[in-house]
Amino acid sequence: MDYRFIPDLTEEQIADTQLEGLKWTTAHAFQGSPFYRSRMEAQGLEPGDIKTLDDLSKLPFTTADDLKNGYPMPLLSVPEADVVRIHGSSGTTGKRKILAYTQNDIDVWKEMFARCYELAGLTVEDRVQICVGYGLWTAGAGFQLGCERFGAMTLPIGPGLLEIQLQMLTDLKSTCLCSTASMALLMGEEVQKQGLADKIALKKAIFGAETHTPKMRKQFEESLGLEDSFDIVGMTELYGPGTGLECMAHEGIHYWADIYILEILDPETLKPVAPGEVGEMVVTSLKKEAAPLIRYRTHDLTRLIPGTCPCGVTMPRMDKIMGRSDDMFIFRGVNIYPGQIGSVLENFGDLSAEYQISLNRSDGLDHMAVSVECTPDSGECNNENLAKAVANEIRKHILVRSEVKILGPGELPRSFAKAKRVQDERGND
């Protein structure tokens, strides 16, 4: 298949592009950024030492703390006059992360994002409703830049604003929805509630920014009448969203390996995990000018998918983001990611995809309670046998005891942005 934006590169061509980009990035960061220069000098390294792709492992890591310490313009490797744009992350603790872009950075980003729309099978006839955050956040800007570069029609709405969203869906007949999975679920529920299903023309959704379960996805695909949906990845530190997208074969996410190198490392040892195993994503940018990333630790967990994709695209694949090492909580000595609970719930047809975990401590012992919702047709609210069955499955898969409560449909709080899954009230007593 001939693509307009997605390059058709062999493994060797990708490796050559990566080596060239790695050499350029190292030299550029060494010359332009006092931070990177001192980090490399501390290791006795200079750009000339990077001769092969294996030499990447000699380079020091960059962390979120390095971004905070360099606030407000960390990692800056060009004169400030060359910066044309600033974006920032939500910054859950303390200072937010601010990242600078040159015009060339913006151009690379929009080409990369145009590839995503192409991979999702959109055409210039499509109408793309963008329901993600605008402003300082990268999401809205990225989805819009990419859409305009691709040539489809952009409907920039932003998050929330349910009435306007529904109005645009029915009046302008948007064909593609871009949002978080929670937002897509919420809109699906509203479309059903207001009986709008045959007045809208949605065919596809591109969703991302949070972990989701196949069940959540099936739920919004059905309620919105979608033909297909695609998981997108990205982070503010690395341009923003659009650094990879699931393809129509749904066997992983193609990532743009000519724009950045993805290493999957054991978060403890920081050595590569075996091919196909889960570890932390560590990224190195190959073309980024204003704020290049050298071995940046993302704390996102995923794995590389070996082999070639049946869709024919030669760009390598990663799995969906399986959670963040930061979201992990330790309960009675067991490391748990919230997504693991979500996976267990997928086995129960009478339950919705929503769940909330609360942790508390009494009599010196930790307790875990999991609240889930039954589906509107199931009538299983407060069913104790079903609750016990869920608790048994959790115990079988995650090896911990929990108390499960089955709520009625819609009783758990909904969120426009990232759903908050864990409430930890254990304190320090």
Q: Which stretch binds Zn ion (CB under 5 A): 28-36, 76-84, 228-236, 311-319?
A: 311-319
- Residues contacting 18, CB < 8 A, separation 6+: 53, 257, 258, 261, 286
Smallest distance, Å, CB 38 to Zn ion?
41
Q: Which is nearer to Zn ion, 216 or 247 (CB)?
A: 247
Q: Which stretch binds Zn ion (CB under 5 A): 156-164, 278-286, 308-316, 342-350?
A: 308-316
Q: Which is nearer to Zn ion, 251 or 346 (CB)?
A: 251
Structure tokens at 254: 């193609």
Q: Which is nearer to Zn ion, 79 or 307 (CB)?
A: 307
From residue 203 to residue 242, the character string flagging contacts with Zn ion as x (rule: CB under 5 A) and all else as - is ----------------------------------------
Smallest distance, Å, CB 11 to Zn ion?
15
List the interface residues with Zn ion, window 186-205 (CB under 5 A): none
Q: Which is nearer to Zn ion, 9 or 387 (CB)?
A: 9
* Cis, bond preceding 267 (omega within 30 deg of 0): no
The answer to the question of residue 311 lying near Zn ion (CB under 5 A) is yes
Phi/psi-derived region of residue 330, left when phi > 0, alpha when psi is between -120 and 50, beta in every other case: beta
Cα-Cα end-to-end distance for the chain: 62
Distance of alpha carbon 43 from alpha carbon 38, whole angstroms: 9
Using CB under 5 A, which of 309, 389, 417, 422 touches Zn ion? 309
Q: Write the single-letter amino acid at 403.
A: E
Q: Which is nearer to Zn ion, 67 or 313 (CB)?
A: 313
What are 231's strand-pairing partners? 207
- Residues contacting 299, CB < 8 A, separation 6+: 64, 267, 280, 324, 325, 326
> What are the CA-CA distances from residue 417 to residues 73, 128, 132, 168, 290 (Å)?
26, 19, 8, 20, 28
List the interface residues with Zn ion, window 313-342 (CB under 5 A): 313
Distance of alpha carbon 16 from alpha carbon 7, whole angstroms: 14
Q: Which is nearer to Zn ion, 278 or 311 (CB)?
A: 311
Smallest distance, Å, CB 253 to Zn ion?
9
- Residues contacting 143, CB < 8 A, separation 6+: 113, 128, 130, 132, 178, 206, 241, 242
Q: Which stretch binds Zn ion (CB under 5 A): 40-48, 62-70, 142-150, 305-313?
A: 305-313
Q: Which is nearer to Zn ion, 108 or 253 (CB)?
A: 253
Phi/psi-derived region of residue 109, left when phi > 0, alpha when psi is between -120 and 50, beta in every other case: alpha
List the interface residues with Zn ion, window 231-290 (CB under 5 A): 247, 249
Smallest distance, Å, CB 113 to Zn ion?
17
From the list 287, 377, 327, the residue with the least C-alpha distance to 77 is 287
Q: Which stretch binds Zn ion (CB under 5 A): 225-233, 272-280, 301-309, 403-411?
A: 301-309
Distance of alpha carbon 111 from alpha carbon 145, whole angstroms: 9
Q: Which is nearer to Zn ion, 313 or 394 (CB)?
A: 313
Residues binding Zn ion: number (CB under 5 A):
5
Smallest distance, Å, CB 246 to Zn ion?
8
Smallest distance, Å, CB 208 to Zn ion?
17
- Write the DSSP assignment of 314-345 as a string of letters: -S-EEPPP--BTTT-EEETTEEE-HHHHHHHH
Q: Which residues are near Zn ion by CB under 5 A?
A: 247, 249, 309, 311, 313
